[in-house]
Chains A and B, each alone.
Chain A
Amino acid sequence: MLYVQALINGVLLGAIYGLMALGLSLIFGVLRIINFAHGTLMVVGMYSSYWLFTVLGADPYVSLLPAAAFLFLVGFVLQRYILNPIVDAPEEMSFLTTLGLGLIIQNLILMAFGPDVHTIDTAYKLSSLAVGELNIDVAKLLAFGTSLVVTGVFFSFLQWSETGRAIRAASDNREAARLMGIDTKKIYCIAFAIGAATTGAAGACFSTFIPTSQDVGMLFTLTSFVIVIAGGVGTYHGTLIGGFLIGIVEELGAVMLSGSMKQVVSFCLLMVILFFRPQGLFGREGD
């Protein structure tokens, strides 16, 4: 029974993980940037929800759109002024830049909100559904649903909109896209902005059941990387499935091994995939 419960928890978490990693998949896939600030962007999402909740009393799902829009703006600006100029520099430099950005953003949050841990007291924060001996956390269920919806929007946008197609072209082959007349610099800004927005949305979802604090960024960043690699860079449905995979693996790992070792399982999985199938579960060969 314990394992079934862990499985359920893993699935619920997995959708949010997937959404969080989707942003990174986009950024990594299109821009080839090791975005060390990814987790920090998610924290910005969490704090946006918290702030809107405190000031306007808005439930995080209600304020999801404005929060995501804010992150979109932030991402756009970051890419336009800080990352675009170094997009052709050696890859290693981008990680230093994003690391620096992460530090700056995290500490701006610290200055603005202080070091206290905050919780958002929604009405459903503590509800859960009992299904026999199993327990379904309502907050996580709502987050699960919302994540799937946002992910769906993301997919459709990429698939059917012109900008989406341009983004996919640019991620497949930078030079070719440029030759085709696509304004790559602008596409990069939009891509990063979308990545940031989806990450912010994931942050809003998390904020309903995880206390908001400014020091959780790095862990989210690492987990996102594991998910993106496991699923396959540039394959967005792979990322979503990767999210589920990691969520389940971690929760099962917590019960089978020990809570504090659950991350070891996902990292080992990452290494195995990188050795034997570096394109991830769903990526194409030679990526």
Chain B
Amino acid sequence: MTKSRPLPFIYVALAVFFLTIPLYGGDYVLEMLIIAFWFAYLGSCWNIVGGYTGLLSLGHGTFVGIGAYASTLLFAHLGLTPWIGMIAGAVVASMAGALLGYLSFRFKVRGVYFCLITMAATEIVRLVFEHVNWLGSTIGIFIQAVKGAGGAAVYQFGPKWPYYLIIMAMTGGILGISYLIERSKLGYFLKAIKDNEDAARSLGIPAIRYQIIAMAISGFFIALGGTFYAQYRLYIRPDLVMGVHFSVEIVMGPVLGGWGTLLGPILGSLVMTPLGEFTRWLTEIIKTTFHMQGLTGLHMITYGLVLVLVVRFMPNGIVGFYLRRRELKREKESAAG
């Protein structure tokens, strides 16, 4: 199959564009892009389980939270730099993911039920964290600010652009890893399991093992995103990095952009965050132009409308939609030719 030439060039151009934004963007744009790419990163990590393996997890916030809390607690109590602490957090998160996976798949929890298990799990973890005092409870943990040069050693920076570059690098990294998975035997097996678990099993594929591996990998990387957040905001609290509400936010990007695809999660997140800002701005304009008072909440309605409409007209996400169109076009061409 011939690859169309213009595509790779667009990617390079986009990469250059995004990488040079700190030079002319300004802090507001950077702030927005950092959040957008953070969700893009989280969504791509989730995609390994949700998209490639076909397991709709609505509890991935758990692993983000584990990552954030692990590195933060290690820093606060042992002075361990989060650069190392985040690895510890990632390991714990991947073990938690594997455990959850093991319990679920061994007991044959599938589809929607698995979804509910993940929701229950993340709520339990969140509530427990909110209850235990030395984990910060409902107050959360404030990370001691380290100003100046010493900050970099403990994953803290004054300006925004270092954070921006880090999250860009992480996103590029998870993109690369996803690409490798797609091309590897693991990816092949995961896809088989996703398409039809029973059929795959009858072919001798140890489905449970690979599902657990997917959970572990996904959990590991998404936890790194948790540490990033903790170091960017210098404050964590259970409801900010855990729980169903947050977990659902993680999934919105991939589902919108097209889960199971390589770029879908990233595209979806990059659309969502500016979209949110845009609808807010639009609401402001309407409010001031028409002098309307009771319009609070309008942008949330617009947000909801977007969700409903995209699902209705592009049920496989944006990338999925595009890919299908391309496929249909090819079918038409080969039928004609």
A–B in direct contact per CB < 8 Å:
yes
Partner-binding segment picked from B18-26, B27-35, B292-300: B292-300
Could you tell me which residues of chain A, from 82 to 96, have a CB within 8 Å of some CB in chain B? 82, 85-86, 89-96
Contacting pair B120 A271 (CB below 8 A) = yes
Contacts of B104 in A (CB 8 A): 274-275
Assembly CA distance A107 to B310 (angstroms): 19
Contacts of A110 in B (CB 8 A): 296-297
Assembly CA distance A31 to B29 (angstroms): 43
Contacting pair A268 B305 (CB below 8 A) = no
Partner-binding segment picked from B105-113, B145-153, B169-177: B105-113
Contacts of B130 in A (CB 8 A): 260
29 of the cross-chain contacts (CB-CB < 8 Å) are: A82-B308, A82-B312, A89-B311, A90-B315, A95-B115, A96-B256, A97-B311, A97-B312, A99-B307, A100-B306, A100-B311, A101-B308, A103-B303, A104-B304, A108-B297, A108-B301, A110-B296, A111-B294, A111-B297, A111-B298, A225-B116, A267-B124, A268-B124, A270-B116, A271-B117, A274-B104, A274-B107, A278-B108, A278-B113
**Interface residue total, chain A, C-beta cutoff 8 A:** 45
Contacts of A261 in B (CB 8 A): 127, 131
Assembly CA distance A11 to B48 (angstroms): 43
Known contacts A90-B315, A93-B311; is A104 also within 8 Å of B123 by CB?
no
In-complex Cβ contact of B294 among A100, A114, A267, A270 (8 A):
A114
Could you tell me which residues of chain B, from 258 to 306, have a CB within 8 Å of some CB in chain A? 259, 294-298, 300-301, 303-306
Does A246 interact with chain B (Cβ within 8 Å)? no
Assembly CA distance A276 to B104 (angstroms): 10
**Interface residue total, chain B, C-beta cutoff 8 A:** 48
Contacting pair B298 A258 (CB below 8 A) = no
Known contacts A91-B56, A222-B123; is A103 also within 8 Å of B300 by CB?
yes
Assembly CA distance A153 to B310 (angstroms): 38
Given A101-B304, A103-B304: 17 more A-B contacts, CB < 8 Å? A82-B308, A89-B311, A96-B252, A100-B306, A106-B300, A108-B301, A111-B294, A111-B295, A218-B244, A260-B127, A261-B131, A264-B123, A264-B124, A264-B127, A274-B104, A275-B117, A276-B107
Does B121 interact with chain A (Cβ within 8 Å)? yes
Contacting pair A32 B112 (CB below 8 A) = yes
Assembly CA distance A86 to B315 (angstroms): 8
Contacts of A252 in B (CB 8 A): none
Known contacts A271-B117, A275-B107, A278-B107; is A104 also within 8 Å of B301 by CB?
yes
Known contacts A97-B308, A260-B127; is A226 also within 8 Å of B120 by CB?
yes
Contacts of B115 in A (CB 8 A): 34, 95
Does A16 interact with chain B (Cβ within 8 Å)? no
Does more than half of chain B's interface fall in helix, strand or loop, or is it mixed?
Answer: helix
Does A263 interact with chain B (Cβ within 8 Å)? yes
Assembly CA distance A260 to B43 (angstroms): 31
Contacts of B301 in A (CB 8 A): 103-104, 107-108, 111
Does B191 interact with chain A (Cβ within 8 Å)? no
Contacts of B74 in A (CB 8 A): none
**Cβ proximity bits B75-116 to A, threshold 8 Å, 1 near / 0 not:** 000000000000000000000000000011001110111011
Assembly CA distance A225 to B119 (angstroms): 10
Known contacts A229-B113, A274-B113, A275-B107; is A102 also within 8 Å of B304 by CB?
yes
Known contacts A97-B312, A110-B297; is A222 also within 8 Å of B244 by CB?
yes
Contacts of A225 in B (CB 8 A): 116, 119
Assembly CA distance A182 to B56 (angstroms): 31
Does B245 interact with chain A (Cβ within 8 Å)? yes
**Distance (whole angstroms) from the CB of B123 to the closest CB of chain A:** 5
Contacting pair A96 B255 (CB below 8 A) = yes
Assembly CA distance A32 to B255 (angstroms): 18
Assembly CA distance A114 to B310 (angstroms): 29
In-complex Cβ contact of B255 among A93, A111, A278 (8 A):
A93
**Distance (whole angstroms) from the CB of A238 to the closest CB of chain B:** 15
